Structure 1
Amino acid sequence: MWIDNGVSGAVVLGELLRTWSLPLVPLFSLSAALILYLRGWRMVRVTRERELPTWRALCFVSGLISLWVALASPIDALDDYLLAAHMMQHFILMSISPPLIVLGAPVVPLLRGLPRVLIRRCLQPLFRADWPRAVMHAVAHPVFAWVAMNVAYLGWHVPAAFELTFRNEWIHDCEHVCFFATSLGFWWVVLAPWPAHARWPRWAMIPYLLSADILNTVLSATLAFSGRVLYPSYAAAPRICFLSPLKDQVAAGAEMWVLNSLVFLIPAILIAAKGLSPRFLAAPSTPGSIAREVAHR
């Protein structure tokens, strides 16, 4: 059902179709990542079949597909008109693609998929240096990963920051990169694939996940129960469905509340019940362990 909010449905539909295009940068980037991963995965499985079973490759591919859906499907075109669509895009970028990609144990396959000369001349000297290890050690720490993800999540949903993404496409892209990159770190701590070593005991992942869900609940409840439209751009956007701007915001808040809570709570419950596979319960990898795996080439 189309509602004419000063603009005819045909005009809005035409604008929607016009903005739905094929983004070349994600296309080439994801295609390159897929090729490198599958090439490296096939090579590593010669000696590491146990560490890289088929299901890990399927997870990685599914993560790339979901990332493509978030960036290049009609969801991306709808996000200028519906907050619910925008939040679905954020949900995929933060809670679907990152854990799937992490479950693919991507680091060693991606590195092994690179040309041999690039690894030997560029990456191995980098892995031997002290400062990359120090940086990676800090970035991979659970506290840093938790803070980075939640600051990005809450910060970009502050109305002033959120409105900036409507005014500048580069800022909008930066928002997406922040969501995806910080969520990769967050889920790396939780799911931590091979190669890895423990940084925190596994029981610590329960408050790690539950505290993130508390912040998600605060933001979601704010959207659902504020009683007013928090983002002016959606109040002014043409209506392309039966939802008013306020009802659209309530739907977006409920969507975030339910979906994100499920993503946080299910792993916490499984960890508490000791139901996760030990391969999922390893800690983040270090540059030294990665370098040793690459050296096997």
Structure 2
Amino acid sequence: MGGSEQAALHSGSLSLPVTLPLVLLALIYTRGWYRLRKTLPNVIPTWGLGVFVAGLLSVWIAIGSPLADGDHERLSIHMVQHLLLMTAGAPLILLGAPVLSLRYGLPRFGCRVLASLLRCSPARTIGHALTHPAIGWLAGTGAVIGWHVPAAFELGMRSYAWHEIQRATFMAAGLLFWWPIIEPRPGVSNGPRWSVPLYLFLGTLPCDALSAFLTFSDRVVYETYLSGSQLDIPPLRDQETAGALMWVCVTFIYLIPAVVVTIRILCDASDQVEETQG
């Protein structure tokens, strides 16, 4: 990585190219959300705008705010960024049902182009394949485990380009992982709802394995943090903190939708029994 790229990476001067696209997405979504609320109020929830913007804000905090500079100094900061992208930004964005709102928020020409693209058979086939639960689980697991293999992790820390690819991978994997759970396109389902709790449980396993490895390892896994300042925190202690953060956050964040879906399934089953008996 060149000297100018290294300086840009650590100074936060690249935050503008992150901020502007996120602001543009927020404006397009807001326009589409407003139009849908006026014409089709039952299609998009009133709280959709809030959760979508909260998702974009999570992404900005992770990669566009001053926090973005700290992942070369502390593994725990890297872990916070990782969690913000995959377990906060991605699900919040999908909860806002972004496909419809972004489509209706585009100018007329862009709306027609996007509508044609979504209707064409190859795009629908690819989209259906990418949003399959198996692909979502593999994407989430691959991003979590793959980028934390020491050789891959160090590559991301040394190279600006690979660092950005790492972040983009976390975000894309998060969207693919959460899509089968949230199902942001009305009327389009990728599988039975009873499979969601099992899917989430399986999703915690690679995170639990990685967090346990980081927390209980008796050595610093990544050389990057041996030479950093660590802000007066011993590298091994910082690594333990990163592992604990992953374990606690993933456990609770995955547990919440699993419980919600389970309760809904049980309530629906109870209603069906009452209707049958009645």
**TM-score of the pair, normalised by structure 2:** 0.89
Instruction: Name which of 96, 102, 118 aligns with 2:88.
Output: 96
Q: Which residue of 2 aligns with 1:181?
A: 172
**Alpha-carbon distance between aligned partners in 2 of 1:109 and 1:276, rounded to the nearest angstrom:** 32
Q: Which residue of 2 aligns with 1:73?
A: 65
* TM-superposed deviation, 1:125: 3.5
CA shift in 2, pair 1:158/1:277, >3 Å: farther
Q: Which residue of 2 aligns with 1:45?
A: 37
**Alpha-carbon distance between aligned partners in 2 of 1:139 and 1:262, rounded to the nearest angstrom:** 26
* TM-superposed deviation, 1:78: 1.2
Instruction: Name which of 17, 28, 45 aligns with 2:20.
Output: 28
Q: Which residue of 2 aligns with 1:288?
A: none
Instruction: Name which of 52, 57, 62 aligns with 2:49.
Output: 57
One-letter code aligned to 2:85 = L
Instruction: Name which of 190, 199, 206 aligns with 2:190.
Output: 199
More displaced, 67-76 or 82-91?
A: 67-76
Q: By percentage of residues, which structure has more helix?
A: 2
**Alpha-carbon distance between aligned partners in 2 of 1:94 and 1:276, rounded to the nearest angstrom:** 28
Deviating above 3 A after TM superposition, structure 1's stretches of 4 or more consecutive aligned residues are: 15-18, 275-278
* TM-superposed deviation, 1:245: 0.7
Q: Which residue of 2 aligns with 1:266?
A: 256
**Alpha-carbon distance between aligned partners in 1 of 2:117 and 2:167, rounded to the nearest angstrom:** 28
**Alpha-carbon distance between aligned partners in 2 of 1:43 and 1:110, rounded to the nearest angstrom:** 11
More displaced, 210-219 or 260-269?
A: 260-269
Q: Which runs of 5+ in 1 are unaligned?
A: 1-14, 279-297
Q: Tell me whether 1:253 sits opposite 2:243 in the alignment.
A: yes
Q: Which residue of 2 aligns with 1:132?
A: 123
One-letter code aligned to 1:43 = R
Q: Which residue of 1 aligns with 2:139?
A: 148
**Alpha-carbon distance between aligned partners in 2 of 1:52 and 1:256, rounded to the nearest angstrom:** 32
> What value does the CA root-mean-square deviation take over the aligned residues?
2.1
SS of 1:274's equivalent in the other structure is: helix
Q: Which residue of 2 aligns with 1:11?
A: none
* TM-superposed deviation, 1:38: 0.3
**Alpha-carbon distance between aligned partners in 2 of 1:66 and 1:197, rounded to the nearest angstrom:** 26
* TM-superposed deviation, 1:193: 2.5
How many positions carry a matched residue from both structures?
Answer: 262
Instruction: Name which of 200, 213, 218 aligns with 2:204.
Output: 213
CA shift in 2, pair 1:174/1:276, >3 Å: farther
- % identity of equivalent residues: 40
Give a deviation string over 1:26-67, Cα, whole Å, max 9, x none.
Answer: 111101100100001111112221222221110001111111
**Alpha-carbon distance between aligned partners in 1 of 2:257 and 2:115, rounded to the nearest angstrom:** 35
One-letter code aligned to 1:183 = G
What is the 5 A alignment of 1:105-120?
A: 105-120=97-112
Q: Which residue of 1 aligns with 2:272?
A: none
Q: Which runs of 5+ in 2 are unaligned?
A: 1-6, 269-278
**Alpha-carbon distance between aligned partners in 2 of 1:194 and 1:277, rounded to the nearest angstrom:** 23
**Alpha-carbon distance between aligned partners in 2 of 1:149 and 1:63, rounded to the nearest angstrom:** 18
* TM-superposed deviation, 1:194: 3.9
Given that residues 63 and 96 in structure 1 are in contact (C-alpha distance below 8 angstroms), is that contact kept between their aligned partners in structure 2? yes
Give a deviation string over 1:120-157, Cα, whole Å, max 9, x none.
Answer: 3x334423432111111111111111111111111011
SS of 1:49's equivalent in the other structure is: coil
Instruction: Name which of 221, 227, 236 aligns with 2:227.
Output: 236
